[in-house]
Structure 1
Amino acid sequence: MKKAILYLFILSLLFNIFQYMNSNKILKTQGQELENAKTRITKVRDSITTLREEKNDSDYFSLDYDDDAQEYFSRYDVTKVAAKVKEDLVTLNDAKTGNRLVPYEPINGNKFIISKIKILNHRWIIADFNSGSTRGEVLLKYFHNEDKPTDFERIDAILFANTVQ
């Protein structure tokens, strides 16, 4: 009987040592995973901060964040004005030869149309135009008319040479 108790004691001692070693290993692994997660969270927070700063910098020239430009349109809803101006500008794409504000003739039968628009303030717009694989940018002056289409005046345009075929 004493031998059985001794064997059970040794077996329970070995089991406890195994449990202790296994728990330590699990604890170390979880600690390492926690440190890795903290490091990733720090990197993500830094990335978010950087992206937020970059967005704020890019929004500096934007009707949505320009208080002086918004004050110019104080009688109107700025969102509706921006939507109307963009709509009026895109409507000019329907012409047979392309958008009249783009000073380039169609290339290979493809007319130039304005695809992306950013309203900088109450007077200027920058827009991207393309004709298939050829693209460029145009700087426009605009005058909002409440009951008539918006008046546009081209200030300058550039055609990117590396896109011309």
Structure 2
Amino acid sequence: MRHKAFFYLFLFSLLIVVLLYANNKNMYKAEARKIEIAHKRIDIVRDSLKAAKADLIEAKYFSLENNADAQEYFNYKTLDKDIVRIKEEVLALNHQEDGNPLVPYGKINGEKCIVNKIEVLNHRWLIAEFYAGDLRGEVLVKYFFNPEKPTTFDSIETVLYNKK
């Protein structure tokens, strides 16, 4: 009788081991499928990132960052400081009574024109966005930078957008 009890205990243990093995095998397959799907998603995201990076490089083609010829105009050691100085000088013009003189409109509906965003395109041009109340626009500016003197600015063209 003792042998029968051990035999049934052995069969029961063997049955549990087989069930656990089958369950773990199914769990392993399910996890492997999840990992495979995750790898496919990662590949899709990598491809999207490469495309977005290419689009960004294309969009920044006309920028000082990607224009080595324009960068040569500046001292490479102080390039970042010089660009910040140019932007600060444009923003400092906002404090004049009639608004920023780079915007040729003066006051519009009693509101002075204020430049709020600037992008330096190269060593001679910058583009700036301005607003006056509900109206907004852009101005293309020619500038001459000299480290020892204040930067001189000259508006080339402006665009004024309608209210939205």
Under a length normalisation based on structure 2, what TM-score does the superposition of the two structures give? 0.87
CA positional deviation for 1:124: 0.8
Q: Deviations over 1:70-104 (max 9, x none)?
A: 12235873223212211111111111221111123
Q: 1:125 and 2:126 equivalent? A: yes
Other-structure match for 1:99: 100
Question: SS where residue 115 of structure 2 aligns?
Answer: strand
Q: Which runs of 5+ in 2 are unaligned?
A: none
Distance in 1 (CA, whole Å) between partners of 2:127 and 2:8 is 86
Q: Which runs of 5+ in 1 are unaligned?
A: none
Between 138-147 and 120-129, the greater mean CA deviation after superposition: 138-147
Other-structure match for 1:34: 35
Other-structure match for 1:10: 11
Distance in 2 (CA, whole Å) between partners of 1:17 and 1:106 is 85
Q: Conserved in 1, the CA contact under 8 Å of 2:62 and 2:121?
A: yes
> What amino acid is aligned across from residue 21 of structure 1 in structure 2?
A
Runs of 4+ residues over 4 Å off in structure 1 = none
CA positional deviation for 1:61: 1.0
Distance in 2 (CA, whole Å) between partners of 1:109 and 1:33 is 62
Q: Structure 1's 76 and 9: CA in aligned 2 closer, same or farther, altered over 3 A?
A: closer
> What amino acid is aligned across from residue 11 of structure 2 in structure 1?
I
Other-structure match for 2:87: 86
Distance in 2 (CA, whole Å) between partners of 1:113 and 1:151 is 18
Structural RMSD (CA): 2.0
Distance in 1 (CA, whole Å) between partners of 2:28 and 2:77 is 62
Distance in 2 (CA, whole Å) between partners of 1:33 and 1:133 is 52
Q: Structure 1's 75 and 52: CA in aligned 2 closer, same or farther, altered over 3 A?
A: closer
Q: Structure 1's 63 and 160: CA in aligned 2 closer, same or farther, altered over 3 A?
A: same
Percent identity of paired positions between Structure 1 and Structure 2: 44
> What amino acid is aligned across from residue 152 of structure 1 in structure 2?
F
> What amino acid is aligned across from residue 42 of structure 2 in structure 1?
I
Under a length normalisation based on structure 1, what TM-score does the superposition of the two structures give? 0.86
Number of matched residues?
163
Question: SS where residue 88 of structure 2 aligns?
Answer: helix
